[in-house]
Structure 1
Amino acid sequence: MVVVETVQEAAPETEKKWDFASDKTFKKRLIRKGKGLFCPRDGSVCQFLITPLPPTSAETLTSRSLRLGHTLEGLKEIIIGEHDAELDHMLDKIIEHMKAEEVAEFKFNINAVEHTSLNTEVGSKAKESVLIAIRIELLSFVEVPELWELNSAQLVDGGRHHKEEGVKWFKNGNHVYALRRFMKAIRFLIVVDKEILENLAKENEEAAELLKEYRFLMANVYVNISAVQLKSNNYNAVIDNCGRALALEPSNVKAFYRRGLAHASLGNSSSAKADFLSALKLSPNDKDIRKELEKYGIGSKEPLKEMKTE
């Protein structure tokens, strides 16, 4: 008996199947398979070509991106995780699902209005979206270690970098980008093995300094997240994150102050007053803290007398 094998030709490009990403944020149609086992990840340097597909124009892509520049012509090089516009954030996610030399087409929606506030109702276009269709050829990328493969110093460096970028965005009034960076900082810092670092710090001065910086940095990232959450009236989250900060750094004035503001907004007068008094004890000349305490009938000298008796 002769068995005849039927070899099916590859489907024409127009018939290739569109597949949804696992989180449904984009659709992908594979044009050419990539090589190797690994995909880029946060921190990878990637070289690629990007082409807009109808109905997307080159102007739409370049105007909505902080990294693509003024033209899509030629080679593009990016570092995954190092740009914060919504389109760039989606490009990161897409490229993290590709392999070297892979070619694929993608479709996804982004907000018609680039939000800078976590309060998303920004005019009539707050809920409108723009369809983006692109083709990407990932030419190459540099593999980087997983977070769990980094040592404590590298993790602290990564956390510090993203925290500083977040502070820049917050000062510029972009709370969405700021929060995104602060959360990236947390991703690095929570991987630090605090128990091992604490044991090393008992005998090693360098480890002791690193532990001190880790605690300070982690606490301040939580406090910075709480600042963003205050802007969006997420008061319970503010209380939680300020509590986390104080567990790491009990003398953090901003944590007491912002938690006090959150308690006050929720009507927790006794808790708010206690936090403001704790903040004032650490920073007696702070006018903002004194102003809040005046709402509870405590004048400029009374808090100091009360705290001296504790």
Structure 2
Amino acid sequence: MKAADGEECSDVRGAAAAEEPGVSRHRQTPMKPTWTLLEEAAQMKTEGNAFYRERNIRSAIGRYHRALLILRGLDSDVMASVKDFGPETPALMPEQEALLRNTQVDCYNNLAACLLQKDSVDHARVQEYSLRVLQWRPGNVKALYRAGVATLEMGDAQTAKQYLIQACREQPNDANVRKHLQRAEEKLNWELQKEKAMYRGMFSPSSKNSSVEGVKQTNGAGEGV
């Protein structure tokens, strides 16, 4: 497994909220059976994977995005917050719930992976998508890796190290995971050395002498008034 690779991509803001320009909005029909909607979402994801392999990123984004929009209306976690504003959706069977979550996990993982491949990476968005996956799949290696990379780039090496350690436990031979784990450790070591140097400077003899001289000069100036 290459944690940074795979059939994955995206460049959307709020994958479950608005569509990419040029992609028509998928309107769910209440009459459609749940299985039909789940299968449509899975098909959208499959098409997105195919577009991604062809490096047709824009079309892949549209497919992943449409898949998430379809699933939004079936997700009990989402619909619970708006149950008073529309018809109540029936509870999913265990098999349906599993398909919904698996498709969501794949789409959000794919969106995060695509963002990481852009020249200008939105690391906050990568982190957001990866953490959504980890809510449902705490041990998902791809999400752990990408959360670690994004968090490291955002400046939190300590938290990034924890994500990357977990990913490394699952995939100890993955070169990308080990490389970024080493980066996190080097950054933490650099920050520690910098902190030590700062404290040495604060409490060095020359610093103390400077403080004493400053007090003497202040007192001398006061005596002349």
Instruction: Provide the C-alpha distance between the structure 2 equivalents of 1:278 and 1:161, rounded to a whole number of angstroms.
Output: 31
Percent identity of equivalent pairs: 25
Map of 1:274 onto structure 2 = 162
Residues 163-182 of structure 1 aligned to structure 2 (within 5 Å): 163-182=45-64
Map of 1:215 onto structure 2 = 101
Instruction: Provide the C-alpha distance between the structure 1 equivalents of 2:122 and 2:71, rounded to a whole number of angstroms.
Output: 23
2:41 is aligned, of 155, 159, 171, to: 159
Instruction: Provide the C-alpha distance between the structure 1 equivalents of 2:73 and 2:168, rounded to a whole number of angstroms.
Output: 34
Instruction: Provide the C-alpha distance between the structure 2 equivalents of 1:150 and 1:280, rounded to a whole number of angstroms.
Output: 43
Deviations 1:98-157 (A, max 9, x none): xxxxxxxxxxxxxxxxxxxxxxxxxxxxxxxxxxxxxxxxxxxxxxx8344333222211
Alignment partner of 1:285: what SS? coil
Residues 1-310 of structure 1 aligned to structure 2 (within 5 Å): 89=22, 146-194=28-76, 207-232=93-118, 233-297=121-185
Does the CA contact (< 8 Å) of 2:160 and 2:184 recur in 1? Answer: no
Deviations 1:236-286 (A, max 9, x none): 111111111111222211111111111122222112111111212232332
Alignment partner of 1:146: what SS? coil
In the alignment, residue 212 of structure 1 is paired with which amino acid? A
Structure 1 residue runs of 5 or longer lacking an equivalent are 1-85, 97-144, 201-206, 299-310
- 1:193–1:273 Cα change, 3 Å: closer
Does the CA contact (< 8 Å) of 2:41 and 2:70 recur in 1? Answer: yes
Q: Greater relative contact order: 1 or 2 (C-alpha under 8 angstroms, separation 6 or more)?
A: 2
In the alignment, residue 117 of structure 2 is paired with which amino acid? K
Alignment partner of 1:149: what SS? coil
- 1:199–1:165 Cα change, 3 Å: closer
Instruction: Provide the C-alpha distance between the structure 2 equivalents of 1:148 and 1:282, rounded to a whole number of angstroms.
Output: 42
Instruction: Provide the C-alpha distance between the structure 1 equivalents of 2:113 and 2:160, rounded to a whole number of angstroms.
Output: 16
Q: Which moved more, 1:154-163 or 1:168-177?
A: 168-177
Instruction: Provide the C-alpha distance between the structure 1 equivalents of 2:123 and 2:135, rounded to a whole number of angstroms.
Output: 18
- Larger fraction in strand: 1
Instruction: Provide the C-alpha distance between the structure 2 equivalents of 1:272 and 1:194, rounded to a whole number of angstroms.
Output: 31
Instruction: Count how many residue pairs are aligned between Structure 1 and Structure 2.
Output: 154
Instruction: Provide the C-alpha distance between the structure 2 equivalents of 1:275 and 1:216, rounded to a whole number of angstroms.
Output: 21
- 1:148–1:223 Cα change, 3 Å: farther
Alignment partner of 2:138: what SS? coil
> CA offset at residue 197 of structure 1?
9.0
- Report the RMSD for the aligned CA atoms in angstroms: 2.9
Deviations 1:57-96 (A, max 9, x none): xxxxxxxxxxxxxxxxxxxxxxxxxxxxx9xx47x68xx9
Does the CA contact (< 8 Å) of 1:163 and 1:221 recur in 2? Answer: yes
In the alignment, residue 151 of structure 2 is paired with which amino acid? H
Does the CA contact (< 8 Å) of 1:227 and 1:258 recur in 2? Answer: yes
In the alignment, residue 259 of structure 1 is paired with which amino acid? A
Q: Which moved more, 1:184-193 or 1:168-177?
A: 168-177
Instruction: Provide the C-alpha distance between the structure 1 equivalents of 2:163 and 2:154, rounded to a whole number of angstroms.
Output: 14
Does the CA contact (< 8 Å) of 1:216 and 1:249 recur in 2? Answer: no
